[in-house]
Chain A
Amino acid sequence: MRRRSFLIVLSGLAFGARADPLLDPITQGAPVKQGRVKLEMPLLADNGNSVSMRVSVESPMSEADHVRAIHLISERNPEARMASFHLGPRAGAAEIASRVRLAGSQRVVALAEMSDGSFWMDSAKVVVTLSACVDELGS
């Protein structure tokens, strides 16, 4: 249910903007645009336990124009809102690198919240190559 609605939202985002229960608490319904954000994650991960992730946002990071926050949203994790990084002009660069835990193959969204109130995003599809002798987990 949730996954499906999320996918609809993602495909909606490609065309412009659309309300979504996962993004709304962050965007307050504001439109979300593709671009300015670059989310780098490997196409393949052997195990979802620790997947490398890097987000960079094009921004001068000045008092007048900077990234206020970078949010990481998961399509399939029990906690959809994986992380929020709050930044300011003194951060110098709008770039974060970390490792995240993924509950299986999915799309991850990086959402940047700018000081002018606009929202920008990028997404990445990650395949967790679960080598599990388990039917219920087919990835």
Chain B
Amino acid sequence: MTTRREFLKVSTALGGGLAFGFHLPAANAQSVAPEVNAWVVVRPDDTVIIRYARSEMGQGSMTSAAQLVAEELECDWSKVRVEYADTNAQVRRKRVWGDMAAVGSRTIRQSQDYLRKAGAGAREMLIAAAAQEWDVPAVECTASNGVITHGPSGRKTSFGKVAGEAAKLAPPKDVALKDPKDWKIAGKPIKRVDIPDIVAGRIRYGIDAQLPGMVYAAIGQCPVFGGRLKSVDAAKIEGRRGVIKVLPMEDYVAVVADNWWRAKEALKELPIEWSFGGNEIASSESILQFLRAGLDDASNVVAARRDGELEQGLAGAAKVLEAEYFTPYLAHATLEPMGCTAVVKDGRVDVWTSTQNAEASHATAAATAGVPLENVYVHRVQLGGGFGRRGGSQDFVRQGVQIAKAIAGTPVKLLWTREEDTQHDFYRPLSLVRIKAGLDASGNPVAWYSRISAPSIISTLLKLPLKEGVDPQAVASFADQPYSIPNVRIEYAQRNPHVPVGFWRTVGHSQNPFMRESFVDELAQAAGKDPYEYRRGLLPATTKERGVLEATAKAAGWAEPLPAGVHRGIAVTESYGSYVAAVAELAVNDKNVVDIKRLVLGIDSGHVVNPDNVVAQMQGSAVFMLTAMFWGEITIKDGRVEQSNFHDYRMMRLREMPKVEVVLAPSGGFWGGIGEPGQAAIAPALCNALFAATGKRVRSLPLKNHGFEIA
């Protein structure tokens, strides 16, 4: 472990709530003593260090997770510092911090139990140490705000004074956790611990890694997915100023130079021959054709849900509606492109990279360099955006370590260009869905059929076997639709084109609720009913969907009349264990310019750990989803991605952002996700409002392809 002097040097240099350092310490800078337990370190000056194991990419969990520990610990929040758990210690200490992945909106909901127990356990140990010192029963002592008090005598001591002794005690076996209604730190809108460093420019992202003697790598990957490098004429650029090495790899070429610009410019001049392997004939049209065949194929189709008798239901219906919906491939477009800084030296690997799963980066670095896990150090940094790109695939770590290994001993910073990043993503899958429903005489659905023809992330990226052949993300919100419909059949046709797919924020719920909730609107229209009342009537009273739908409609004033020319739409869905609803109000002019007046987003996440952060996540979800809705589309020509940078893969601009109102409607009793659910109901609510305004039903995205622009 690091020496105390080294650690202090790093932490004082930064001075904020977080510790970052780009140096090569003997081991990672991690506070060691007195460690009450793996999550809690209390210094003699009463500073409490709470460890955070997962990643922070702006989702705020680093703060929320620490709030949960601090709540049970009964410490003084103003003395809390949050520090990343070290992946090397994680390996040596038998994964003491559990899962390190910040994915699937699960950082809080899947660690809240052990985080709260860690806080409570540390508190009990600190109290026991004080009681031992005073020679009084521990039950007579209480802890509050970092101070331990012996009730009968009124004696007091602080956490810092007893932490050394507490660290020697055995952890308690069982600890009681507080009822969330008694929370004082959790549940409160505490300011994010990383914001001061972000504002002051002190925060360090992966891209900021800077090491003495560092060299730089630019990378060119085979433009056609699945292709291989055939040949490269390295001699052509080897004499160029600053160029150190040309590295031909299996599916990419790296140029290493003394600065990144020289590496990148040299790469442009490098003659490279690729072997495309047949995929160079694929196009968006051929891929759509392939998916379309999946809608009609009788084979290679599995049932994801079967209720009642679909055919009978349809046959007995007074009216049958049918529609096809489509959503395209999307790129993650993180502001910070992919990259990885690494040193491979004397059997040890050090890595600095923006990752959503430091443990996965650790495993990748070890496997790539061929060294034991114990010899790898993944230095923790903040992420310049993640959105799912930096978790499921660790391609950038594999490349960074391969390059560092090839120039062993020298630190090398691999940085992708924006163009590489846009064209070598693991894209949100496209999806083509046929939906059919039968209504009875009163307009209620008696039968619902969906066939989803789409790639499977789980079988192609994770290479995992699918249970019953169903990718749960591909059929999400269809297979688990909450409406009272007696006859339902949901089918999945797994169709995998050559384009790599991955987890894009909200994954299946980024597209399927758009289709389901738009079609429910079509049914309401056919039934001649109000879209809110129609949904409400179909949702059993016990469902959380109904609760959040009602809360959101009420906050949006659904029953109130709208100004002339303003129209609205509504939608509701479950997503990542939370329940969300959205109401969009907008006006459309004769040039199809959409003026979004207001977006009301409701969420029932069970509990709320940091309300301010939940609001921020809902607002951020609106930015992300509106961007995708209006412009997001990755298209394929000659086997490769056509878009390359922000000029043709457009982001939303500040002035285009509508007002977002967030309705927090936590109903308690469960822990739902926050980072992803916010997006799920926005697209259908907005498209339903567009229908109300224009009479035009949007069944595919993005909206630019229908001539809509944002005001």
User: Residues of A with Cβ closer than 8 Å to B?
Assistant: 42-49, 52, 77-78, 101, 103-104, 127, 129-139
Contact = CB atoms under 8 A, between A and B. Distances in A.
Contacts of A42: 363, 366-367, 373
Contacts of A139: 99
B391 A131 contact: yes
B356 A131 contact: yes
Q: Which of A52, A78, A135, A139 has the most CB of B within 10 A?
A: A135
A131 B473 contact: no
B576 interface: yes
Given A131-B103, A131-B357, A48 B391 contact: no
B85 interface: no
Which of A44, A127, A129, A131 has the largest count of B CB atoms less than 10 A from its CB? A131
Counting contact residues on chain B (CB < 8 A from A), the size range is: 35 or more
B591 interface: no
11 contacts: A44-B362, A46-B364, A47-B463, A78-B465, A129-B357, A130-B462, A131-B101, A133-B104, A135-B104, A137-B464, A138-B106
Nearest to B105: A133
B95 interface: yes
A104 to B, nearest CB: 6
Residue in B101, B462, B464, B467 with the greatest tally of chain A CB atoms within 10 Å: B464
A67 to B, nearest CB: 26
Contacts of A132: 103-104, 391-392, 457-458, 462, 503
Contacts of A49: 462-463
A84 B371 CA distance: 27
Interface string B599-634: 000000000000000000000000000000000000
Nearest to A127: B95
A134 B472 contact: yes
B388 interface: yes
Interface of B: 91, 95, 99-101, 103-106, 110, 356-357, 359-364, 366-367, 373, 388, 391-392, 394, 457-458, 462-465, 467, 472-473, 503, 505-507, 576-577, 676
Contacts, number: 97
A45 B367 contact: yes
A48 B373 contact: no
A138 B364 CA distance: 19
Contacts of B676: 133
Given A104-B464, A129-B360, A136 B472 contact: yes
A44 B463 contact: no
Contacts of B364: 46
- Which 10 A/B pairs are nearest by Cβ-Cβ distance? A131-B391, A44-B363, A133-B503, A129-B360, A49-B463, A131-B357, A133-B104, A46-B363, A46-B364, A46-B360
B45 to A, nearest CB: 36
Contacts of A45: 363, 367
A77 B463 CA distance: 12
Contacts of A131: 101, 103, 356-357, 360, 391-392, 503
B546 to A, nearest CB: 22
Contacts of A137: 458, 462, 464
Nearest to A136: B472
Nearest to A138: B110
Contact of B462 (A48, A78, A135, A138): A48
A126 to B, nearest CB: 10
Which of B105, B394, B465 gathers the greatest number of chain A CB atoms within 10 Å? B465
A101 B462 CA distance: 11
Given A42-B366, A129-B357, A130-B462, 7 more contacts: A46-B361, A49-B462, A52-B367, A101-B463, A131-B101, A131-B391, A137-B462
